[in-house]
Amino acid sequence: MIGTIANTIAIIVGSAVGGTVRHGLKEKYQNVLFVAMGLAATGLGINAVVQNMPNSTYPVLFIASLAIGGVIGTGLDLDGRFNRLVNSRKKGKDDDELAAIDDGGATVSSESSDLGRGLSTAIMLFCIGTLSILGPVNSALYGDETFLFTNAMLDLVTSMVLASTFGYGIAIAAAVLFCWQGSIYLLASYLSPLLSGGLMCEISIVGGFLIFASGLSILKIKEISTMNLLPGLFIPPIWFALVYATGGFGGLL
């Protein structure tokens, strides 16, 4: 867990530095950072899909995962709940301030919406990746923290850029990352037979599409409720658990 703790601290430090720098940036520079982060997220998502798709054991599993996960997430209104949670930080401000338009033409409520979009992107970038998934596994099974320390350095830089665009609130993603990697660490200790390379591959494909969707949202090409698709990440583990428990469904797979 030392690597996970280091990764969490790196995001908090990066968010603090980026959030501080943000106050000194003019709007035109913030807009450039928005575009940069949108392009980066889009590229990372495509890269994850392209790298892992050829190694997929079940080529249509990612389609089922996104579809089933989207239905579940929409039913639970995860995106709405998430945005309401983010916007609650503005609760103490009066209605006039919430409706007011600032000099740049943006509303206070849109700032909250931007933070929600930034946080969802941060969570995807920090949690859905080879290093972030395999790191806790290697830590639990072999005591090797190399992946997690490497990931910490990458997330330090990423959180600085994200916070310089969306503000200090990006630090909230550190708590999500800690719970995510902590859960993988605990599961790896008890369910090592299930944590195969095939499972990691399928999760990475689904995660790649989610990161790509986040990039499209930031670039305002297509507004996608990424949080509603998040349950799709849990479909591959459930599928692999069923395959393992039934012996490949009686040898059919």
Instruction: State phi, psi for 101 to the nearest 5 degrees.
Output: -105, 130
Residue type, position 225, single letter = S
Q: How confident is the model at residue 98 (pLDDT cuts 50, 70, 90)?
A: very low
Q: Which residue has the higher pLDDT, 23 or 236?
A: 236
- Mean local confidence (pLDDT), 103-120: 60
Q: Which two tokens stand for residue 112?
A: 């909250």
- Mean local confidence (pLDDT), 174-188: 89
Question: How much is the pLDDT for 109?
Answer: 47
Q: Which two tokens stand for residue 228?
A: 């509603």
Burial state string for 114-142 with b = 16 or more CB within 10 A and e = fewer than 16: bbbbbbbbbbbbbbbbbbbbbbbbbbbee
Question: How much is the pLDDT for 97?
Answer: 41
In sequence order, which residues have a C-beta less than 8 Å from that of residue 12 and are 6 or more positions away? 159, 171, 174
Domain boundaries, the chain: 2-251
Q: How confident is the model at residue 237 (pLDDT cuts 50, 70, 90)?
A: confident
Tell me what percent of the residues of the chain surpass a pLDDT of 70: 81
Question: How much is the pLDDT for 99?
Answer: 46
The reply to whether the predicted model has a pTM over 0.75 is no
Q: How confident is the model at residue 191 (pLDDT cuts 50, 70, 90)?
A: low
Q: Which helix (H) or strand (E) holds 131?
A: helix 130-142
Question: How much is the pLDDT for 87?
Answer: 62
Q: Are 134 and 83 in contact (CB under 8 A)?
A: no
